[in-house]
Amino acid sequence: MPKVSREHQDARRRQILDAAVDCFAREGFHRATMQDIVRRAGLSPGAIYGYFASKEEIVEAIADERHARERALLARIDAEADGSSGDVARALARLADDFVGALRDPGERAHRRVGVQLWAEALRNPRILRIVRRGVDEPRRRIAALVRRAQRRGELSGAIDPDAQARMVIAAFLGFVLQQAWDPGADVAAYLQALRHVGGALGGAGSERDRRVRKARARVADRDHRRRKERRS
Amino acid sequence: MPKVSREHQDARRRQILDAAVDCFAREGFHRATMQDIVRRAGLSPGAIYGYFASKEEIVEAIADERHARERALLARIDAEADGSSGDVARALARLADDFVGALRDPGERAHRRVGVQLWAEALRNPRILRIVRRGVDEPRRRIAALVRRAQRRGELSGAIDPDAQARMVIAAFLGFVLQQAWDPGADVAAYLQALRHVGGALGGAGSERDRRVRKARARVADRDHRRRKERRS
Amino acid sequence: MPKVSREHQDARRRQILDAAVDCFAREGFHRATMQDIVRRAGLSPGAIYGYFASKEEIVEAIADERHARERALLARIDAEADGSSGDVARALARLADDFVGALRDPGERAHRRVGVQLWAEALRNPRILRIVRRGVDEPRRRIAALVRRAQRRGELSGAIDPDAQARMVIAAFLGFVLQQAWDPGADVAAYLQALRHVGGALGGAGSERDRRVRKARARVADRDHRRRKERRS
Amino acid sequence: MPKVSREHQDARRRQILDAAVDCFAREGFHRATMQDIVRRAGLSPGAIYGYFASKEEIVEAIADERHARERALLARIDAEADGSSGDVARALARLADDFVGALRDPGERAHRRVGVQLWAEALRNPRILRIVRRGVDEPRRRIAALVRRAQRRGELSGAIDPDAQARMVIAAFLGFVLQQAWDPGADVAAYLQALRHVGGALGGAGSERDRRVRKARARVADRDHRRRKERRS
DNA sequence: GATGAATGAGGATTCATTCAT
DNA sequence: AATGAATGAATCCTCATTCAT
């Protein structure tokens, strides 16, 4: 039986991970020493090794946390877009709101800086790569699905590869996170607006009548698609 | 008086930098040891330190090279877009061709992987940050200038912040480089096409007649802008 | 909160410094490697760096110790010579006994050899120079003060610069330490006797009656000096 | 047959040794690199190794030069003191003039600083020790001989060990060289005067009549000594 | 003889991790 | 569970020396 309560354990883990994020954001994974983390966490080396088997495991735990957060955001999108009346442009706008909006939070800056380092770390650490890819591939698949549906409905031109389109959306986020990490003065609000504008242009924002027509067509298309799918299975 | 020719010196530098890029791409800046680079370059530690004062300086030299390459690409865009008959959508498409097209070259893969690491390194190394930002801010300013001109001409909606628009373009590149680094199977051709499509949608590709009309308007707008500018000075 | 007792820490420091003195005496500061010290101390590199930040700091610590020892010897002289009935020749003889006498201790040989190296090191290391000078300037000032008082009392000729005289005394020690370091067979007892003889000749050894006469004069001179000093303040 | 003239060779040697003395004075033997010497000499590494087989050999050559200089000074003393009418006090004063007087020459400062380092180096380099000892033991023997003769003549008390007495004289020089190296402001003139005063006190400066009496006695003593010696052989 | 690029063993220091208390 | 002193392999870099030109 554990000597300390579960709450205590969780608090310790938090304490360590927070300290680590701080140190990693400041110095990078490789420059930050365990001693730094130990100091910042106000613990001892031994205590930390009681919770994490290695420095690497701390990095992985942080990567996991980041990924969990993104998955949570995505879940909301899916819920919204799953309805047959979903509007791709609107869904993407919502995604933009959530993701890019989070960039406004200065308390999150350290985490974002660590995130960027994880992207680089993924290139040489397969475990990190898996975590990072999970955080990118899943969103991409979901966005691609949205796009495909929008194409079926005629809301988006069928000429574009849905996966490539999804990659563009992902890139718009990744690329801005980078730019903001390098230049904290980057204007989040303006970027958000630009994203929406583009989303609108693609999603075919036009007159209100246009949108209604497209939506009607979309419902029919969706129905047909479902039927074909059911017949196949 | 140098004992060896300038060519020999340059070749040695190349040899070292190539070895370093290889090692860095494989292991990252921090895991790759000087000994690794020494081995791969087929030289001795002392020989390397005759050309670079430190491991860090090698990293910087690599960052500089990357930046130089980007500047060269940009120069072509500018040259093209400077003409009054320049077409933003076309200029961006050209940019996309050059940049993303380069991603197809597998020989460049190692360099791109190192590039991603430089992005992370920039977060804690001010010298690298400067180099990276030079490579990003300058393109951004040029693209923003293109956008501004397109807006004056009516080719692009004036509602979007040109700088944010430029950040999106940059992000589309940065973000795809990341995705391709994580997943070498990412489809470059499809992404390129998607980029062009979006560029077209924004730049207002339409019927050939539409384009001709817009161009005529653009010429007038450009002329007016120049006149106002001259009067101010 | 330290894990080990203060005593343990001090013992470790001692262990390291002793090992270092051994190595330095044998090989010199520059030839002796940290690995040598590590081996001789029976510790690990990390353990040593827990107590001293650098090899240089070990050298400084050793220099400090040497200086502390000298200061302690000097303190005794001062205490003795402060009495108004003090006899310069006797005080110097005492100094000679203590300092040169210490040279007889073969256990101290290693320390003396290191001391000589510190003298050289002082020429290029300002921190060592400060320590060495503290160990030399202070004694010099004190001896000069003794000489001055002796001159006032008529025990020493007023023709000699007290500071130069003090430098000669210092030189007599420094110079013999060198000679003994080069030639451990140098006869300490004989040197000690020679020192005393010279001290006597200068201090005006003569018949017992002479000494008594001089002492009486000295008491008067000291009294006058104190009075003049009091009047000034 | 040599490709260059002997003069050229000597000039090169000088050039190298001068550069080395400069560097050693500044940085010490161990910190000064061959590259430093190469730079300062305006030569190439290869060129230097054409004249000296190793860094160590350069150090030894410098030590040899120092020693040669001292031997030359001593030779003059000997010449002077060899006459039966020699006066010890006078000889020592002359010695003091020469040696200490040389300390006034600021151009020699670098050499003196290197000399001090040689003293330390002698402790771990047997070849340097031999050179240093040759430079110290020989003077000591000669001074001891002077003292012995003075004792025979009654000019000096027979109670002091001549060798110890000589060591004191040597120490007075070594010790002042050290002090001046640490503190270039040390007053050479005052020290010289103090030396003479002490020499006088020991050598028994007194009335002119005293000196004449002592000299007469000295002549007799010398003659007796020679006769005893001849009888023995 | 001279050059200087190259060599490579060696040195100081760091830091993730362990384990006795 | 927690502590923190200790470990020691690994790292970056230096520099005396060599040798092809």
In terms of residues, how long is chain C?
Answer: 233
Measure the CA–CA gap between C98 and A212, rounded to whole angstroms: 108
Fold of B55-232: Tetracycline Repressor; domain 2 (1.10.357)
Is residue B202 pLDDT above 70, yes or no? no
Q: CB-side exposure of D211: number of CA atoms within 13 Å?
A: 14
What long-range pairs does B7-11 form, CB within 8 A, spacing at least 24? B9/B51
C: neighbours with 3+ CB pairs under 8 Å? D
Cβ density class A194-227: b for 16+ within 10 Å, e for less: bbbbbbbbbbbeeeeeebeebbeebeebbeeeee
**Which nucleotide is closest to B56, CA to C1'?**
F12
Is residue B215 pLDDT above 90, yes or no? no
Q: Is A20 exposed, middle or buried (0-12, 13-18, 19+ CB in 10 A)?
A: buried
Q: Which CATH number fits domain C1-53: 1.10.10.60, 3.40.50.11810, 3.40.50.9100, 3.40.1350.10?
A: 1.10.10.60
pLDDT the model gives residue D158: 83
pTM of the model: 0.87
Classify residue C205 by its DSSP letter: -
Measure the CA–CA gap between A166 and C67, rounded to whole angstroms: 74
CB B128 within 8 A of CB B24: no
Measure the CA–CA gap between D182 and C129, rounded to whole angstroms: 7
Is residue A79 pLDDT above 80, yes or no? no
pLDDT the model gives residue C151: 86
Question: Can you read off the two tokens belonging to residue C102?
Answer: 């210490």
- For the C56-232 domain, the top CATH level (class) is mainly alpha
CA B92 to chain centre: 13
For residue B167, give the nearest of A161, A164, A176 by CB distance: A176
Low-confidence ranges of chain D (pLDDT < 50): 1, 84-85, 204-209, 214
Measure the CA–CA gap between A150 and A222, rounded to whole angstroms: 9
Give A10-38 as a DSSP string.
HHHHHHHHHHHHHHHHHHHHHHS-HHHHH
Q: Provide CATH 1.10.10.60 ranges for chain C.
A: 1-53
CB D37 within 8 A of CB D48: yes
Measure the CA–CA gap between B163 and B151, rounded to whole angstroms: 12
pLDDT in tens, B175-189: 999 999 999 999 999
**Which nucleotide is closest to A2, CA to C1'?**
F1
Tally Cβ neighbours within 10 Å of residue B93: 19
Q: Which residue has the higher pLDDT, A230 or D31?
A: D31
pLDDT the model gives residue D85: 45
What long-range pairs does D39-44 form, CB within 8 A, spacing at least 24? D41/D15, D41/D16, D42/D15, D43/D12, D43/D15, D43/D16
D174 contacts C179? CB cut-off 8 A:
yes
Give B120-151 as a DSSP string.
HHTTT-HHHHHHHHHHHHHHHHHHHHHHHHHH
Which residues are CB-neighbours of B6 under 8 A, at least 6 positions away? none
Which residues are CB-neighbours of C168 under 8 A, at least 6 positions away? D172, D175, D176, D191, D194, D195, D198
pLDDT the model gives residue B169: 92
Cβ density class C80-101: b for 16+ within 10 Å, e for less: ebeeeebbbbebbbbbbeebbe
Q: Provide CATH 1.10.357.10 ranges for chain A.
A: 55-232
Is residue B59 pLDDT above 50, yes or no? yes
pLDDT in tens, D197-211: 887 766 544 444 455
Measure the CA–CA gap between C163 and C141, rounded to whole angstroms: 7
D164 and chain C in contact, CB less than 8 A: yes
With an 8 Å CB cutoff and a minimum of 3 pairs, decide whether chains A and D touch.
no
A187 contacts B161? CB cut-off 8 A:
yes
Best CA proximity match to D135, nearest among D188, D64, D87, D204 = D64
CB D122 within 8 A of CB D62: no
Tally Cβ neighbours within 10 Å of residue B126: 9
Interval B9-22 mean pLDDT: 96
pLDDT in tens, C99-122: 877 888 888 889 999 999 999 999
pLDDT the model gives residue C233: 59
**Which nucleotide is closest to C50, CA to C1'?**
F5
Measure the CA–CA gap between A17 and B144, rounded to whole angstroms: 40
CB A131 within 8 A of CB A104: no
A179 contacts B136? CB cut-off 8 A:
yes
Best CA proximity match to B211, nearest among B150, B162, B163 = B150
Q: pLDDT-based confidence at C79, cuts 50/70/90?
A: low
A175 and chain B in contact, CB less than 8 A: yes
pLDDT in tens, B116-146: 999 999 999 999 999 999 999 988 998 898 8
